[in-house]
Amino acid sequence: MTGNSREYSKLASSGDDHDAESSAVSASSERHESLTLLPSKSSSSALPQSQSASAAGGASNGSSSSQSGTSGHTRVAVPSYQHSGALSSSAAHHTSRMTCGQRLRLATRNKLFLLSMVLLVSTITLAALLANTMSRGESTAPRNLVVMISDGYGPAQATMGRLYYNLVVKGRNLTDTNPSLPLPLDTFAVGASRTRSSSSLVTDSAAGATAYACRKKAVNGYVGVDSLDKPCGTLMEAAIARGMRTGVVVTSRITHATPASFTSHVLDRDNEALIAVQQLGTGVDLYMGGGRCYFTPQSASGSCRTDDFDGLQNATARGYHVLLDRAGFDAVRPVASSLPILGLFAKSHMNYEIDRNPSQQPSLAEMVTKAIAILEDATKDSDQGFMLLVEGSRIDMAGHDNDPATEVRDILAYQDAVQVVKQYAQKNPNTLVVSTSDHETGGMTLGVQTDYLEYPEYEWTPYPLQRQLNSTEVLAKAIRKLYDDGGNVTDYLVSTVLPVYLGIPSWTESDIQAILDGLQLYIGNGSDFYLKKPLNILVSNAAGIGWTTPGHSGVDVNLYAMGSSSSKIVGNLENTQVGQLIEEIFSFDLDAITKKVA
């Protein structure tokens, strides 16, 4: 070892802040001089000339800085980030002149520094994860499960609903550059769900709901039946087997595809008469929605059945409290003794929100509020919680009609129900909430351009949707009735339907003729779609909204989750994976249920 190396060793070990152990290490390093490595001349000469000069300068700087200081302490050279080459070479030369003990102390300090940084980063990461977990309400194990399906609600519908809420409902200015106010669902978005079925890249509601309910792909039209034509156990049936209390709240007929896929097993979704029979025997504690016609015998007025099965009488015999109107709904107390409940508040589907008379039908949010209160009371002294299925059913139906003004009202009604569930989950963090859609409906686009030869305008607006007062479903029936009664349809259109009920300020003769042609098609084949379509085109064009289909599209749909264990549901998932994750979180055994129902 050179004299300079020994001198550096003495300076490094002579400070007041070094203890006896440091001195011992320093002394030991002098006994192992051969471990001090110096850069060889060959390695130095191998550098390009400019780098060799930098290295030489760095060595000189390193040597002088290592021996300067006060009170015997070493002063560390301050690095210059503008001369990284010189710094690197200086550090190499500086280190090469250290004794073994000095390098050991340096290595120890480096390791301690790295360890402290790792611990700091780990602490910050864990804190962030904990904060995210707490924000999603994951502080306790799951007890309750709420599965929400926004039928037909795709990404474009989410945007339409949010901007309608901001600009129309809240009155914010279009030029406001502040972030849009979020809808309740926006606050716990976690990913997307892929929607294809086993028979098509574009699913229907039956196969889409079955994928969530059974975590198995199904053929379009299959209800609670897998792609091999076998009944498959559902999450609802697993919850019942567990001893959880269960409920179904929808705005469609309760025998419709989505609720049926969780509560029955039928090869044809249109066989709602059979679905009704099965639903009464499933053991679900609470049903609320529409569909009274499938629970009345064919002899009764307004029945949809072709047999004499009396579902209302059957339900009463099973102990169900049967509710058929708003008064019955209001009379039900939110206590366990109210169960079981069969609430059928419409002959067929419940009314669209835009048409709903609050004195005749409860809203989706009202039904969800009462259902949760009853199920919570029924499980307050139990080891098991409850499972509730909620569907905003008629979002999809407005999408089929390409009726954006009607659809946006049902979207906001669904968001009201989401807010009810969200607030409950925040107060009861042992609740898992999952919301998604079975598919998108209508192929909606915001910013339609009908003339492809013109330069794009990049524009759509929600304001025309506000002016529409009723769904075109209701308006089509009114127009048809006027025609059947011998009235003047053209006068009715120009004096009432277009300016008042649709809020259309201007139209052309071709617009009127398209409506009259649609009426004739309606009369000819019985489908009101032909009359609704030209009415919806007028409103859609005014808003700049386009449609690609009266059916479904194959796009991914948004996925939302909050509450207990919700962090496990994240990312772009196959629809079957969503059901599988719920099964795993609650330790359900759907295979065992499948064996029972097969």
Average pLDDT over residues 42-69: 38
DSSP state of 391: E
Quick one: the chain helix, strand, coil %, rounded to 5? 50, 10, 35
Whether the ω angle into residue 231 lies within 30 degrees of 0, i.e. cis, is no
pLDDT value at residue 113:
57
Task: Report how far residue 60's alpha carbon sits from residue 76's, in angstroms, rounded to the nearest whole number.
Answer: 14
User: Hey, is 529 helix, strand or coil?
Assistant: helix
400 is known to lie in a ligand binding site: yes
Please name the helix (run of DSSP H) or strand (run of DSSP E) that holds residue 582, with its range, or none: helix 575-585
321 annotated among ligand-binding-site residues: no
Per-residue confidence (pLDDT) for residue 41, from 0 to 100: 37
Coil/strand/helix, residue 523: helix
Q: Are 368 and 414 in contact (CB under 8 A)?
A: no
Predicted local distance difference test score (pLDDT) of residue 123: 53
> Would you state the pLDDT for residue 3?
39
Per-residue pLDDT of 469-484, as tens digits, reads: 999 999 999 999 999 9
Q: Centre a 10 Å sphere on the Cβ of residue 33 and count the other Cβ atoms it contains.
A: 13
Flag whether 438 is marked binding. yes
To the nearest 10°, report the CA torsion of 373, 376, 381, 383. 170
- 3-state class of 419 per DSSP? helix
Contacts of 557 (CB under 8 A, 6+ apart): 153, 154, 155, 192, 193, 195, 436, 437, 438, 439, 440
Nearest to 61 by CA among 93, 39, 95, 96: 93
Tell if the pTM clears 0.85, that is, is over it: no
Q: Is the pLDDT of residue 394 over 60?
A: yes
Q: Is the Cβ–Cβ distance between 411 and 440 less than 8 Å?
A: no
Show the tokens assigned to 381.
């002294």
Band the pLDDT of 457: cuts 50, 70, 90: confident
Q: Is 391 known to sit in a ligand binding site?
A: yes
pLDDT digits (tens, 9 = 90+) for 529-546: 999 999 999 999 999 999
Share of the chain above pLDDT 90, in %: 74
Q: How far is CA 57 from the centre of its chain?
A: 61
Which fold does the domain 144-192+232-444+550-597 belong to in CATH?
Alkaline Phosphatase, subunit A (3.40.720)
Distance CA 68, CA 75 (A): 6
Q: 275-283, long-range: CB within 8 Å, 24+ apart, which pairs?
A: 275/223, 276/309, 276/311, 277/309, 277/311, 279/254, 279/255, 280/311, 280/314, 280/315, 280/318, 280/320, 280/342, 282/236, 282/237, 282/240, 283/240, 283/246
49-63, 89-103, 114-128, 377-391, range with greatest mean pLDDT: 377-391
pLDDT 10s digits, 572-588: 999 999 999 999 999 99
Across 87-188, the runs of DSSP E, i.e. the strands, are 144-149
pLDDT at 116: 62
Cα 283 to chain centroid, rounded: 29
Find, among 441, 532, 527, 518, the residue nearest to 202 by Cα: 441
Q: Which residue has the tokens 């809203």?
A: 363
* pLDDT at residue 454 is higher than 60: yes
Residue ranges covered by each domain of the chain: 3-107, 144-192+232-444+550-597, 463-546
Residues assigned a catalytic role: 205
Q: Which residues contact 340 (CB under 8 A, 6 or more apart)?
A: 284, 285, 286, 318, 319, 320, 321
For position 118, what pLDDT does the model report?
54
Residue 151, annotated ligand binder? yes
